[in-house]
Amino acid sequence: MRRAILLLIFLTVLAGLALTVAGLCGSTGCLRLNGDPDNIAMLLALRVPRALTAFTVGALLAMAGALMQVLLRNPLAEPYVLGVSGGSAAGALLAMLMAASIGLPRQNIAAVGAVLGAGVAVVLLFGLVGKSLRRLPLSPMAAGHRLLLTGVMLAAGFGAVITLVLTLAADTQLRGMVFWLMGDLEDSRFLPIAALIAFAVLLWSVWNAPRLNLLARGESFAQLLGVPVVRLRVATLCAASLATAAAVTMAGTIGFVGLVVPHGLRLLIGNDQRVLLPAAALAGGAGLTLADLAARTVVSPTQLPVGVITALIGVPLFLWLLSRSRT
Amino acid sequence: MMTKEPQGSETDMTAGKVADVLLHADRLTLRNGGTPLLTDFNWQVRAGEFWCVLGKNGIGKSTLLHAVAGLLPPAGGRICSPDGDIAASTPQQLARWRGLVAQQQFDAFSCSVIDYVMAGLHPYRPGWGWPDEADRQAALVALDRLGMASYADADVTQLSGGERQRIAIATLMLQAPQLYLLDEPASHQDVAAQQMLLRLLRVLADDKHAVVASMHDINLAARFATHVILIGSQRWWRGAVDDVLQPELLQAAFGCSFNVIASEQGKWFSPF
């Protein structure tokens, strides 16, 4: 327990440092305290919300990933695997396409579409797997397969919708759409709501962490030890979907944070959800904040999409973790 | 007591005796999809009894254990704990009444053996606290009784099938329910471990607890069990071990003949 507290303190300090550095530094270099106060204030007003947005999205994605890995009992699951992000993206792109064709302002329409798309995806998922979620799998092996396959199929369907919209979109829209898909932390209008959701998901999952620990060892195992598994699984799926939808609505589909952060942390600190879930929130937030800082500064003044950075770091890191795991 | 009793005449008993009954199945009907497995099965398990469930593959042994554990709603009838119908009990009440070791174990995530075993304490510590030294000691004692104490810090994903099964049984012992349910506990064990395990189960069935285990080894059942349920297709026999383990009943259930060989350890059933 002392180790857990030390680890969480260390990660909190790391997150604070990441936020500070990302708030102070940007494409025009780092702020100095003896500079022009107006300039400092202007740059802070740009950089601080963006750093906080990155932190919140990273925390949401990492928690959603950790919850999905427990729910599906698969250490390689990630927040996007069940099609919620696909639904969001398809909704956002469809909304952009329709807004352009009937001349609506483009500003908020993508976010509205993303929320609606995520809602459709979750409703479809629950409609298709609700029955198997309500039943306990008796064989420990078959757990979650139906949910996983249904989600993968939904994601494939939404992928087709996305491709279709990209094909139909006018050239002038295409760039905006592609950037939305790659992930973009510029827009901090939804930060208060997303931060609230992140906080709520964190509280819920830490409160339920002892029960999630048993769920990770098997549905029947948890039920036999007194965990109301059916209710817990539905609630876990809701929490993970909500976190994913909030993250995707705010920043598009930024990959690998939800997969690499919880998986890597599990290899480092073990699989106790009481520690893992808050650690994932902190490390995911800090990680995405730093990745966004890199995206803004590495080839400045050009800004890279942050999804490219997370993929460039995430892919080799994940392959390395995979090669040193025993199975 | 011996053969099928659909009328369920055993329910009228004196109050003093009812307190000892840990499990009462009333006109229990179990199906696997559309196939009927057990129909109108009445059954009582009292403290101190060690029941073995015998029968061919797919005849309903696991289904019976899962239904009693509350994992599978029966197609008909009721299963009652001393607190009443288990369909109306909370998961936590059930967790203190019964525990089950499944036939197969599967681990998706790494976990140390001792942490795994301490999960058995969850029904008594549902809150957020970390396990203390006493919990660790209790887990080590349970592991020691199964000969697994030296594996306390090993990773469950690294264990052999038999070792992994003994870890699951140690978890059940820490859970310490009134009714121990085990689905083929001897199946992955070597011969020495089988003897150790069955002796342990016999001890667990004391004046407050009972054990129900499905088995394939008739001779282990004959040596260690006090009572036997023998399930055949569309019929069943239950009762004291010597009453049920008869070559003609075994032949009716399994469809092969049995020689009975008398030995110093008791009767041996040799199929041919």
Residue A8 sits at the chain B interface (C-beta within 8 Å): no
Average pLDDT, chain B: 87
Q: Does A230 touch chain B (CB under 8 A)?
A: no
pLDDT-based confidence at residue B6 (cuts at 50, 70, 90): very low
Please answer whether residues A86 and A162 qualify as being in contact, where contact means their C-beta atoms are separated by less than 8 angstroms. yes
Pair of tokens at residue A3: 């180790």
Distance CA A79, CA A182 (A): 16
Q: Name the interface residues of B facing A (CB cutoff 8 Å).
A: 62, 66, 69-72, 90-96, 98-100, 102, 104-111, 115-116, 119-120, 122-123, 126-128, 130, 157-158, 175
pLDDT, tens digit (0-9, with 9 covering 90-100), for B168-191: 999 999 999 999 999 999 988 999
Between residues A130 and A244, the one the model is more confident about: A244
Q: Could you give the count of Cα atoms lying within 13 Å of A22 in the half-sphere of its Cβ?
A: 27
Share above pLDDT 70 across residues of chain B, in percent, rounded to a whole number: 93
Average pLDDT of chain A, as a whole number: 87
The pair phi, psi for residue A11, each rounded to 5°, is: -70, -35
CB A253 within 8 Å of CB A183: yes
Query: Residue B7: pLDDT band by 50, 70, 90 thresholds?
Result: very low
Res. B5: pLDDT tops 60: no
User: What are A58's two structure tokens?
Assistant: 């990273």
Among B174, B165, B102, CA closest to B138: B174
Chain-centre distance of CA B272, in angstroms?
28
Would you tell me how many other CB atoms lie within 10 Å of the CB of residue A167?
8
Query: Regarding predicted confidence, which is higher, A3 or A49?
Result: A49
Set of chain A residues whose Cβ sits within 8 Å of the Cβ of B136: none
Structure confidence at residue A142 as a pLDDT band (50, 70, 90) = low
* pLDDT tens track for B227-243: 999 998 888 999 999 89
Taking an 8 Å cut-off on Cβ atoms, the answer to whether B71 and A210 are in contact is no
Predicted pLDDT of residue B140 = 94
Q: What percent of chain B has pLDDT over 90?
A: 59
Give Cα B232 distance to the centre of its chain. 19
Predicted confidence band of residue B4 (pLDDT cuts 50, 70, 90): very low
CA B233/CA B245 separation, integer angstroms: 17
Contacts of A3 (CB under 8 A, 6+ apart): none
Confidence tier at A143 by pLDDT (50, 70, 90): low
For the stretch B93-110, pLDDT in tens is 999 999 999 988 888 888
Q: How many residues does chain A have?
A: 327
The minimal CB distance from B126 to the residues A138, A220, A226 is found for A226
- Can you tell me the mean pLDDT for A34-43? 77
The reply to whether omega before B91 is within 30° of 0 (cis) is no
Q: Which residues of A touch B32 (CB under 8 A)?
A: none
CA distances to A62, A139, A254, A266, A279 from A263, in Å: 9, 25, 17, 5, 12
Neighbours of A232 (CB within 10 A): 21
The pLDDT score that the predictor gives to residue A240 is 93
Cα–Cα distance, B170 to B144 (Å, whole number): 9
Q: What is the pLDDT of residues B107-120, one digit of tens each?
A: 888 889 999 999 99
Cα dihedral value B205, B210, B214, B216, nearest 10: 30
Q: How confident is the model at residue B8 (pLDDT cuts 50, 70, 90)?
A: very low
A76/chain B closest Cα distance in angstroms: 10
What confidence score (pLDDT) does residue A212 get? 95
Here the ipTM equals 0.87
Residue B156: closest CA among chain A residues belongs to which residue? A217
Chain A positions touching B107 (Cβ under 8 A) are 217
- Burial (CB count within 10 angstroms: exposed 0-12, middle 13-18, buried 19+), residue A308: middle
Put simply, the answer to whether B91 touches A74 (Cβ < 8 Å) is no
Instruction: Identify the closest residue of chain A to B98 by CA–CA distance.
Output: A224
In sign, the C-alpha dihedral spanning B240, B246, B248, B254 is positive
pLDDT in tens, A79-138: 888 888 899 889 988 988 888 777 776 667 888 888 899 889 988 988 888 777 777 776
DSSP letters of chain B?
--S--TT-GGG---HHHHTTEEEEEEEEEEEETTEEEEEEEEEEEETT-EEEEEE-TTSSHHHHHHHHHTSS--SEEEEEETTEEGGGS-HHHHHHHEEEE-S----SS--BHHHHHHGGGTTT--SSPPP-HHHHHHHHHHHHHTT-GGGTTSBGGGS-HHHHHHHHHHHHHHH--SEEEEESTTTT--HHHHHHHHHHHHHHSSSS-EEEEE-S-HHHHHHH-SEEEEEETTEEEEEEHHHH--HHHHHHHHSS-EEEEEETTEEEEEE-
Q: Confidence band (pLDDT; 50, 70, 90) for A16?
A: very high
Tens digits of residue pLDDT in B16-41: 444 488 999 999 999 888 888 888 99
User: In the prediction, which pLDDT does B212 show?
Assistant: 95
B104: nearest CB among A136, A139, A326? A139
Domains of chain B, each with CATH number or no CATH: 9-13+21-271 (3.40.50.300)
Long-range contacts of A128-137 (CB under 8 A, 24+ apart): A128/A154, A133/A230, A133/A233, A133/A234, A133/A237, A134/A230, A135/A230, A136/A219, A136/A220, A136/A223, A136/A229, A136/A230, A136/B71, A136/B72, A137/A219, A137/A220
Residue A48's beta-bridge partner residues? none
Q: Confidence class of residue A42 from pLDDT cuts 50, 70 and 90?
A: confident
Q: Which residues of B touch A77 (CB under 8 A)?
A: none
- What is the average per-residue pLDDT within A147-159? 90
Q: Which residue has the tokens 């029955």?
A: A131
Q: Does A2 touch chain B (CB under 8 A)?
A: no
DSSP string, A79-147: TTTTSHHHHHHHHHHHHHHHHHHHT--STTHHHHHHHHHHHHHHHHHHHHHHHHHHS--SSSSSTTHHH
Q: Quick check: B2 pLDDT over 50?
A: no
Q: Which domains does chain A have, with CATH numbers?
A: 49-321 (1.10.3470.10)
Both tokens assigned to B27: 């006109």
